[in-house]
């Protein structure tokens, strides 16, 4: 029999995997993997603020993440620096500010390991609700902005020229990433969230030939990784978040090896027919 906390862990993990699938695809398509890291780094500041003001963790992290994301959009327009330099600037300066605050406010005690790597087994029912309600909202919004966002991903000028509101879609997308990172802090932690966004999507790329296919398969791979990862971590008593990612990496490796051979033999069959 499963204990309650195990069921909560499964519920939270599965919910998270379903959202990170399609979002991760966009992160890969738009070459934003470092952006996920930046937002995640800045989450520490949100956590410190939440503890200092005795405020809801997820909302505080979300607010800080949004602020950082919008700062990036602002800096992109105002400076001539390349994106990766701006992201590096934001990521580490905000992380530094978070650490400085943490040092000054000495009454705050934060489980730093839990923050960095998450602890899916400690999620409570509120966290699960945040994942499922927040996640549903994120998914619905993503579906609503899919066309302009995807068109802008393929070619920004083309999307703008033909009357799509690409700038708005980009800004909303940024906020979606911020929310997913806020939701996931407790589950996989700051250091690993980018992995959960990118690894399933990367594995999915090897299996799919259309964008929507890639988004869906990515969710499925995330889901499989969460389920197998949770079970494995219970058997081996290993840290859960890292185990989930290790399983996802395993799936990625699996998608690399046999597929090309399969495709070739499939083509041979087609040719012989």
Partner 1 sequence: MNKSLVELNNCGVFRNQKWLVRGVSLKVSQGEIVTLIGPNGSGKSTTAKMSLDILKPDEGTNTIKKDIRISYVPQKISIDWSLPLRSIDFVNLVTKHKTSEINDALGITGIQHLINEDVRNLSGGEFQRLLMARAIAKEPHFLVLDEPVQGVDYSGEIALYKTIQEIVKKINCGILLISHNLHVVMSQTDYVICLNGHVCCSGIPSSVIKDQEYIKLFGSNIDPTLSLYKHNHDHHHLPDGSIDKADKNK
Residues binding partner 1 (CB under 8 A): 28-29, 31, 147, 150-151, 153-155, 157-164, 205, 208-211, 213-214
Closest approach, Cβ 158 to partner 1, in A, equals 6
Distance CA 19, CA 137 (A): 10
Query: CB-wise, 152 or 247, nearer to partner 1?
Result: 152
Q: What is the DSSP letter of 122?
A: G
Closest approach, Cβ 37 to partner 1, in A, equals 18
Query: CB-wise, 163 or 258, nearer to partner 1?
Result: 163
Query: CB-wise, 79 or 155, nearer to partner 1?
Result: 155
Max alpha carbon distance in the chain (Å)? 74
Query: CB-wise, 10 or 29, nearer to partner 1?
Result: 29
Closest approach, Cβ 29 to partner 1, in A, equals 5
Closest CA to 126 of 47, 11, 222: 11
Query: CB-wise, 27 or 40, nearer to partner 1?
Result: 27
Closest approach, Cβ 222 to partner 1, in A, equals 17
Closest CA to 240 of 223, 253, 250, 227: 227
Query: CB-wise, 42 or 153, nearer to partner 1?
Result: 153
Extract the tokens encoding 96. Answer: 């530094």
Closest approach, Cβ 24 to partner 1, in A, equals 11
Task: Kindly report the backbone phi and psi dihedral angles of residue 46, in degrees, each rounded to the nearest multiple of 5, phi listed first.
Answer: -60, -40
Closest CA to 252 of 212, 225, 213: 225
**Under 8 Å between Cβ of 20 and 184:** yes
Task: Kindly report the backbone phi and psi dihedral angles of residue 190, in degrees, each rounded to the nearest multiple of 5, phi listed first.
Answer: -65, -45
Task: Kindly report the backbone phi and psi dihedral angles of residue 6, in degrees, each rounded to the nearest multiple of 5, phi listed first.
Answer: -70, -40
Neighbours of 3 (CB within 10 A): 9
Closest approach, Cβ 228 to partner 1, in A, equals 25
């Amino acid at each position: 029999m499963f204990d309650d906390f195990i069921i909560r862990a499964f519920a939270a993990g599965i919910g998270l995997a379903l959202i990170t699938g399609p979002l991760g695809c966009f992160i890969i398509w738009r070459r934003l993997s470092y952006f996920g890291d930046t937002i995640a780094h800045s989450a520490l500041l949100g956590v410190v603020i939440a503890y200092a003001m005795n405020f809801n963790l997820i909302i505080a992290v979300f607010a800080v993440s949004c602020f950082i994301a919008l700062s990036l959009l602002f800096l992109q327009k105002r400076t001539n620096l390349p994106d990766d330099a701006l992201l590096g600037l934001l990521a580490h300066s905000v992380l530094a500010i978070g650490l400085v605050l943490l040092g000054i406010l000495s009454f705050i005690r934060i489980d730093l390991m839990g923050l960095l790597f998450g602890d899916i087994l400690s999620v409570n029912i509120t966290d699960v609700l945040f994942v499922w309600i927040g996640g549903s909202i994120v998914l619905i919004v993503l579906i609503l902005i899919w066309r302009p966002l995807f068109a802008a991903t393929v070619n920004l000028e083309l999307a703008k020229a033909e009357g799509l509101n690409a700038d708005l879609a980009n800004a909303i997308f940024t906020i979606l990433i911020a929310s997913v990172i806020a939701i996931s802090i407790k589950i996989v932690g700051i250091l690993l969230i980018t992995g959960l966004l990118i690894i399933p999507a990367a594995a999915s790329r090897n299996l799919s030939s259309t964008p929507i296919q890639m988004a869906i398969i990515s969710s499925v791979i995330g889901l499989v990784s969460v389920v197998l990862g949770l079970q494995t971590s219970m058997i081996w008593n290993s840290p859960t978040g890292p185990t989930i990612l290790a399983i996802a990496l395993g799936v990625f490796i699996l998608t690399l090896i046999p597929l090309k051979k399969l495709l070739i033999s499939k083509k041979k069959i087609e040719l012989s027919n």
